[in-house]
Chain A
Amino acid sequence: MGVTVRIPAVLRALVGGRAELAVPAGRLREVLDAIGRESPELLSRVLAGEGALRRHVNVFVNEEDVRFRELLETPVRDGDCVTIVPSIAGGR
């Protein structure tokens, strides 16, 4: 069955215009590795050089932000949806 990865519009050009990718289940780190094999450029927009999530990029497994789970060790099961979401924020 695998995992569905939703790609935000601003990054779709890096994966041939696709809105979703299908990758095998595993820890989030393994899911991102699978994304990186399809598009190293996309992976580089999600992870910083030291392998951590970039500051303004959030990754959700279903409805849960992985920063409040186990970060890159968050389990991602068959049928789950991973969403890559850049932040929109600001203030006075």
Chain B
Amino acid sequence: MRRRIEVNPDLAPVVLPNSVLNEILAHAREADPEECCGLVTGDDEERHRHVIRCRNDMTLWHQRDAATYPRDGTQGFYMNEQDYLRADDEATPRGERVTCVYHSHVECGAYFSEMDQDFASQELFPFPDADHLVVAVIGGSVVERALFRRDPDAGGFVGRPVVPCHP
């Protein structure tokens, strides 16, 4: 049984470019009261270069089939497949790859939930080496953010604080 993973404030923070972090935070605020989701692409030189917003289809799936998809977009995200395939297709010619999957939590903290881990750990997850950035939106404002990355020594994901890189 998985348990949610919280950020470990004692770990060294992950530094993200201001432009990348601001775009993700803006997406999270605009999507409120639903969760937002998207991808970050980059390369070996700069891991986090471009943000690609994707549509959250969870409410659509919930309306189609509430038994299979009991949550709506306020409590979960389901990334539109065409959006993420297009993002992957656009990144490849630039010599980039998807390096981070981001989403927001609304009215709760920036932890890596059991559901987040279930999907990120599935055998066919399309970006197995990607980081996972979670931002928490409470009362319309982003109040917390954390980045979860696989750590073989820890036997799973570990949460780190995130700080912007000021040029």
Q: Does A34 contact B (CB under 8 A)?
A: no
**Main DSSP-derived SS at the B contact region:** mixed
Task: Give the number of chain B interface residues (Cβ < 8 Å).
Answer: 33
Task: Give the number of chain A interface residues (Cβ < 8 Å).
Answer: 21
| Contacting pair A90 B77 (CB below 8 A) | yes
| Contacting pair A10 B128 (CB below 8 A) | yes
Could you say which residues of chain A place their CB within 8 Å of the CB of B128? Answer: 10
A-B contacts, 21 of them at CB < 8 A, read A8-B126, A9-B88, A10-B124, A10-B127, A45-B123, A60-B81, A83-B85, A85-B81, A87-B79, A87-B81, A88-B78, A88-B125, A88-B126, A89-B76, A90-B115, A90-B119, A90-B120, A91-B35, A92-B35, A92-B75, A92-B106
B residues neighboring A (CB under 8 Å): 35, 37, 58, 64, 71, 75-79, 81-82, 84-85, 88, 101, 103, 105-106, 108, 113, 115-116, 118-120, 122-128
